[in-house]
Structure 1
Amino acid sequence: MSQQGPPVPFSSLPLSKTHEAAKLNAWGAYGDKDERGFLNRQTDAIVAAAAASEIKTGTRVSLNAALDFQGDRPLFGRQVFEKNVYQKPPRIVHDDTWHFNTQSSSQWDGLRHFGYQQAQRFYNDTTLEDIAGTTERAKSQPNILGVQNLEKHGIVGRGVLIDFARWREGPGKDVPGVSDFKTFERTPIKLEWLKEILKWQGTELKFGDILIIRSGYMPSYYALTDPEVTTLQNMHPPSLGGVEQSEELLKWIWENFSCVAADHPSFEMWPTPLEWSCHEVFLAGWGCPIGELFELEELSRVCEREGRWSFFVTSEAVNVPGGVASPPNALAIF
């Protein structure tokens, strides 16, 4: 694979023709047994170049919401974060235990999370039975597609913030359709807007970048009343604003990035209005991790202060063999 571009052109997808419903898959692009997908794009050379170009002041910004930020009102039927701090007498010592859903706060969706729904396959033609550990393949690849693959080398490189929330309050407010975007309604952030924001910010993309989109979800979530949260909890599925679903969007992601993240819970507009979703193509087709519920408010302020919307990102998933998702433990460094 060239360090300057994807392993094959977008027009060559799908690589595997075994399952017609496995839209635009890139199975085999990094080897038949690969479990890292897009993270193969974060080569040593690309990471070293990102560190050299982006780390200038040493300013560091956390991208992690508190594990309990949703309190006792988590969305999507996920569990409440539980923390038990206890003393160990007679010593003046404490231990604690935590119990939580890995997707109830800032997270990386790992490659076990979401498969092609019609094809019933995960990345690199992996089956439910492979993941359950009941096949011959599972014997040679135990814990296949687990988040330990995100942890092994980390998720590291040049991050680029596309600050949709800031743009829509400024020069984007008069752009047709922008005012129609609603955090808690099925409304799109259009690809043409993302490209326009990059121009407004003066941000140029480099192959292998980590894409991060700020929609303004966190302030909107905190402003919800309890009845409004209850309404969302009772919607199956809830309606959420997010990135548009389109083949043009998929092509743009394929040609530029090594993973994607945002501050909203689904990255893409949800539920998808199409027969396919970005989750299917990103995770099951390409092995592209999806970051969700990242805390981006301070990052936005620092980017504006610094006058640049690119930075170095270091993220270390939790080493849980066979895990589905993980807190990101992510930092942006300027």
Structure 2
Amino acid sequence: MSETPSTLKLNENGIPDFDSLPLRPGDPKYSAWGLYGDKDELGTLNRLTDELVAEAAKNEIKTGVRVSLNWPLNAQRDSSFFNRQLFHQDLFAKPPRCVNDDVWTFNPQVSSQWDGLRHFAYQKEKLFYNGVTMEDIHEDDGGTSGVIGVQAWAKKGIVSRGILVDFHSWRLEQINNTSNPDPRLVDFDHFATKPISLEDIKACLEWQGGTEVKFGDILFIRSGWINAHNNLLSTSPSTLTRHQTKTPHTFCGLSPSPALFEFIWSKFAAVAGDQPSLECWPPLAMRDPVNHGDKLSLHEVMLAGWGMPIGELFDLEELARECERQKRWSFFVSSEVCNVKGGVASPPNALAIF
């Protein structure tokens, strides 16, 4: 008889230690299937209890300053990464009244987004969070079964304490004010498969004055990708177009490792970045499908394994400036996911509140 979640030893935060994953024999590597029940659709958002959210609001909202984390829906104007449908607006008047309506059409992943649990499966097993299959999602050929859709997240939103890891500012500081800077940081290219390691994250947290990490936090990582994108858009749009049309795309991002997986699992309810893919892209499993061994991508483990939202293309530029102004890199964050039954992803509609 296999061990059930009810018999698992839970730590002081009410979750199993990382070393306990997977929870049941035969489940995919690092998965936490069944922890909140076989039909659960919230994943790590179960960590966001009313008490945790109230404590975050009490401790983090001090000045009332609000910062949007949403990149414009039409920020990718002429072409997009991953060939996603661009934002299009039809505006029309409604005479004889002096009235306007408009219609928007777009892929919800073409700008700031939360990847939902329907987005990415364990690739070898072809199983989504809690063992949901592609057939489960498409059982009626219309995808409207609703199973593990974003509507489950819309009921209470994604609301907690947020912390920013301003990797971009930290990296520039190391380059400009260090006598012998790390060549890896000097050669960092936002449009190449350049890794951001767990060691980088911890060094950045320390550089920020020792930003405290608390259980249930939402982690935001500013790589500087949106800043680099905007620079190319204004100075060399043809170069940007080449990046958008090449196959495969390449981006900087988090570098998966068991230590990084443990760090994320142990503390966070969700993780977001400012790149098109939170992780270094393409992952090793896609770059070398024959020789990648048992290495997994962040998308597989976080989305399919834990039910943890992955945020991408969040605009963290003004957030970084406000954190620097206030000399604190923690804040209250509120994100209201769109209520779309069976949705694969959603714009975040996110605010940081200081």
TM-score scaled to structure 1, two decimals? 0.94
Give the drift of 1:6: 5.1
> Which segment is superposed worse, 2-11 or 48-57?
2-11
Q: Separation in 2 of the partners of 1:313 and 1:270?
A: 27
2:311 to 291, 298, 313: 291
1:28 to 18, 34, 37: 34
1:219 to 227, 248, 254: 227
Write the mapping of 1:108-257 to structure 2, written as runs, cut at 5 A: 108-133=114-139, 142-171=145-174, 174-202=181-209, 203-224=211-232, 225-257=236-268
Q: Separation in 2 of the partners of 1:210 and 1:196?
A: 18
Give the drift of 1:306: 0.3
| Corresponding letter in the other structure for 1:249 | L
- 1:6, 1:255 within 8 Å by CA — same for their partners in 2? no
Give the drift of 1:120: 0.3
- SS of the residue corresponding to residue 221 of structure 2 reads strand
Residue in structure 2 matched with residue 138 of structure 1 by the alignment = none
Q: Separation in 1 of the partners of 2:145 and 2:188?
A: 43
- Deviation per residue, 1:29-49 (Å, 9 max, x gap): 111110000100111111111
Q: Separation in 1 of the partners of 2:187 and 2:302?
A: 26
Residue in structure 1 matched with residue 3 of structure 2 by the alignment = none
Give the drift of 1:230: 2.7
Q: Separation in 2 of the partners of 1:16 and 1:95?
A: 52
Residue in structure 2 matched with residue 106 of structure 1 by the alignment = 112
- Deviation per residue, 1:58-86 (Å, 9 max, x gap): 00000001100011121111112110110
1:306 to 326, 341, 350: 326
> Which segment is superposed worse, 231-240 or 80-89?
231-240
- 1:42, 1:258 within 8 Å by CA — same for their partners in 2? yes
Q: Separation in 2 of the partners of 1:142 and 1:230?
A: 37
| Corresponding letter in the other structure for 1:151 | A
Identity of aligned residues (%): 54
Give the drift of 1:181: 2.1
Write the mapping of 1:36-55 to structure 2, written as runs, cut at 5 A: 36-55=42-61
Q: Separation in 2 of the partners of 1:291 and 1:4?
A: 27
- SS of the residue corresponding to residue 160 of structure 1 reads strand
Give the drift of 1:175: 3.6
Q: Separation in 1 of the partners of 2:100 and 2:14?
A: 49
Residue in structure 2 matched with residue 321 of structure 1 by the alignment = 341
Q: Separation in 1 of the partners of 2:10 and 2:48?
A: 12
| Corresponding letter in the other structure for 1:272 | P
Residue in structure 2 matched with residue 69 of structure 1 by the alignment = 75
Give the drift of 1:5: 2.1
Give the drift of 1:149: 1.3
- Judged with a 3 Å threshold, the aligned counterparts in structure 2 of structure 1 residues 182 and 196 are, in CA distance, closer, same or farther, namely same
Q: Separation in 1 of the partners of 2:183 and 2:87?
A: 40
Q: Separation in 1 of the partners of 2:140 and 2:273?
A: 35
Q: Separation in 2 of the partners of 1:179 and 1:123?
A: 38
> Which segment is superposed worse, 169-178 or 180-189?
169-178
Give the drift of 1:16: 3.2
- Judged with a 3 Å threshold, the aligned counterparts in structure 2 of structure 1 residues 223 and 6 are, in CA distance, closer, same or farther, namely farther
Question: Unpaired runs of 5+ in structure 1?
Answer: 136-140
Give the drift of 1:2: 7.0
- Judged with a 3 Å threshold, the aligned counterparts in structure 2 of structure 1 residues 49 and 3 are, in CA distance, closer, same or farther, namely farther
Residues paired across the two proteins, number: 329
Residue in structure 2 matched with residue 17 of structure 1 by the alignment = 25
- 2:52, 2:216 within 8 Å by CA — same for their partners in 1? yes
> Which segment is superposed worse, 167-176 or 155-164?
167-176
| Corresponding letter in the other structure for 1:87 | A
Say whether residues 1:57 and 2:57 are aligned partners: no
Q: Separation in 2 of the partners of 1:52 and 1:171?
A: 35
- 1:181, 1:189 within 8 Å by CA — same for their partners in 2? no
Residue in structure 2 matched with residue 79 of structure 1 by the alignment = 85
> Which segment is superposed worse, 271-280 or 143-152?
271-280
- Judged with a 3 Å threshold, the aligned counterparts in structure 2 of structure 1 residues 6 and 252 are, in CA distance, closer, same or farther, namely farther
| Corresponding letter in the other structure for 1:147 | V
Give the drift of 1:237: 2.0
Q: Separation in 2 of the partners of 1:38 and 1:57?
A: 29
| Corresponding letter in the other structure for 2:280 | M
Question: Unpaired runs of 5+ in structure 2?
Answer: 1-8, 286-291
